[in-house]
Chain A
Amino acid sequence: MSRREALQATAGAVAFAALPLPAQAADSAATPVPPTQTLPLEVTVNGRVHQLAVDPRLSVLDMLRERLSLTGTKKGCNQGACGACTVLIDGQRVNACLALAVMHDGAKITTIEGVAEGETLHPLQVAFIEHDAFQCGYCTSGQIMSGLGCISEGHASSAEEISYWMSGNICRCGAYPGIVAAVAQAAKEDRT
């Protein structure tokens, strides 16, 4: 059993034992619902093609984490507010939690697992280490994916501009000065 599986099993058991069933979940169970659909889906993730059959409710985030075991992309708020789930879809940074997988049939997705080349880290990953741009690390993969978007869009020419254009990524540890410095350094290297 991996560390993640152990954590999931424990968390699931604890939650089940400790929490009463929420009223809303009980309502959902009682309401008649249309039959669940399963749709075919083809996505290319980090250069690898995947063919899946998915429930239309599945988010890109849950598809990456639960179906493809790419757990580098994190679930923070699951409401599009925190940016922890940021990935690139067809080169654009987006919140994977608000994207239904079925909306992205045929898409090319890049996650944090696809950023380094083998053992060689991407310059932005190196910059995050050099500038201590994280503490707990939970937001970091989203910050890096968003930083890649920020740089490729051309919105990383000053600290002020980076702060504005990275505002969709929350860091509860408050590592913002390091994050801004890391994005600035990688943007500078990108230009030279």
Chain B
Amino acid sequence: MRPFEFQRAASESEAIAAAAAGARYLAGGTTLVDLMREEVETPEKIVDINRLPLNYIRATDEAIVIGALARMSEVAANQDVRRLQPLIPETLTEGASPQLRNVASIGGNLLQRVRCPYFRMLDAACNKRVPGSGCSAIDGLNAGHAILGSSEHCVATHPSDLAVSLVALGATLSLKGPRGERTIPVEELFRLPESTPHLEHTLEPGELIVEVHVPNGPYARKARYLKVRDRSSYEFALVSAAAALHVENGIIKEVRIAAGGVGTRPWRMNAVEQALVGKPAARASYEIAAAVSTEETRPLSHNGFKVKLLPATIVRALEMAGDVA
């Protein structure tokens, strides 16, 4: 690991000032410490934000509000979250390992770096790690890579499960930075790789994720997360789907669907949603609508299976959500 200067922030303003001057935020460290040891990340300054008062979970009738430093395991075990937003604990528990979930923060989960093996391999080409160096995955081993949102410069999937469910639930982020506070939808945090895959998110320099707001929509209680992967625990998704349904008299009034493991960012399935509204909440409707999900897919040499797996995963996730009493 390269040497770095370490600072503990006692206040948000101190943290933001340090980050605006070039320091990297350190929360749980499960991504950053790992990548620093591999020398994929080489920050010269680190600002530890773990002492900031951002580890909280609040429940109101309108929304669940999660402080950015709440740990994955704390959020997953919180009774209010389990009652009002069951999709979130289910999604969190499907990700990482118990040890990692005890440490990894909610803000850090959203900002975790990609798991493309070439990103971690210093002698491979990677436009994310070294802009302009090329992409070893496009002609390499790419079974785990993206079929949506990829470019000729990068085909890595976004690895967060939580982000998929937050995008489906229409969650927003409160941000604080050197130029003040603002709120953005979680979906707008993530950039497409296009010709600049090293730019992964829309945060401004020094901007800090403060909290996540998850509105308690009418679909929030009838919601499930399905993660298809090579082993049943502690593995990243090949394809995943979050599905949330609001059904009245057997008819879908409102539906939210997002997919993971397929896109270069968490992928909201707007066209599938539109095809479901007003239809019976039944497998036949799900199958017709899910077929739309593959329209813009661009498979690589080894991940063509995802084009079949994606609609099948969406159908199953919708069935699971439909079965919630």
Residues of A within 8 A of B (CB): 23-24, 28, 31, 33-37, 39, 55-57, 59, 78-80, 83, 86, 92-95, 98-100, 102-103, 146, 149-150, 153, 155, 163-169
A159 to B3, CA, bound (A): 44
Q: What are the 5 closest A-B residue pairs judged by CB atoms, nearest first?
A: A168-B97, A56-B6, A167-B233, A167-B234, A92-B102
Question: Contacts A102-B48, A165-B98: A80 and B30 contacting too (C-beta < 8 A)?
Answer: yes
CB-based contact B3/A83 at 8 Å:
no
Query: B2 contacts the other chain (Cβ, under 8 Å)?
Result: yes
What is the interface residue range for chain B against chain A?
Answer: 20 to 34
Q: Which of B114-128 contact A (CB under 8 A)?
A: 122-123
- A residues in contact with B14, CB < 8 Å: none
* Cross-chain contact A95 with B100 (CB below 8 angstroms): yes
Q: A34-B44, A37-B5, A59-B33 are in contact. Are A103 and B26 (CB under 8 A)?
A: yes
Q: Which of B26, B37, B44, B97 has the most CB of A within 10 A?
A: B97
Cβ A28 vs Cβ B39 within 8 A: yes
B100 touches A57 (CB 8 A): no
CA distance A94 to B29 in the complex (A): 12
A33 to B73, CA, bound (A): 37
- Is A93 in contact with B5, judged by CB distance below 8 angstroms? no
- Chain B hits for A155, CB < 8 A: 98
Residues of B near any A CB (own CB < 8 A): 1-6, 8, 26, 29-30, 33-34, 37-39, 44-46, 48, 50, 73, 96-100, 102-103, 122-123, 232-234
CB-based contact B122/A24 at 8 Å = yes
Pair B99/A94 contact, Cβ less than 8 Å = yes
Could you tell me if A164 and B233 are in contact, using CB atoms closer than 8 angstroms?
A: yes
Closest chain A CB from B91 CB (angstroms): 15
- Secondary structure of the B contact surface, majority rule: loop
Assess whether A94 is in contact with B4, with CB atoms less than 8 Å apart.
no
From B3, B45, B73, B233, contact of A57 by CB (8 A): B3
Q: Is the CB of B2 within 8 A of A28?
A: yes
Contacts of A102 in B (CB 8 A): 6, 8, 48
**Bound form: Cα–Cα A1–B29 in Å:** 37
User: Cβ of A99 and Cβ of B3 under 8 Å apart?
Assistant: no
Cβ of B5 to closest chain A Cβ, rounded Å: 5
Nearest-neighbour CB distance to chain B for A75, whole angstroms, equals 12
Establish whether residues B100 and A99, one from each chain, have CB atoms under 8 Å apart when the complex forms.
Answer: no
Bound-state CA distance A6–B218 (Å) is 66
Q: Which residues of B contact A56 (CB under 8 A)?
A: 4-6, 46
Do A98 and B34 contact each other (CB < 8 Å), given the known contacts A57-B1, A167-B234? yes
CA of A165 to CA of B232 in the docked complex: distance in angstroms? 11
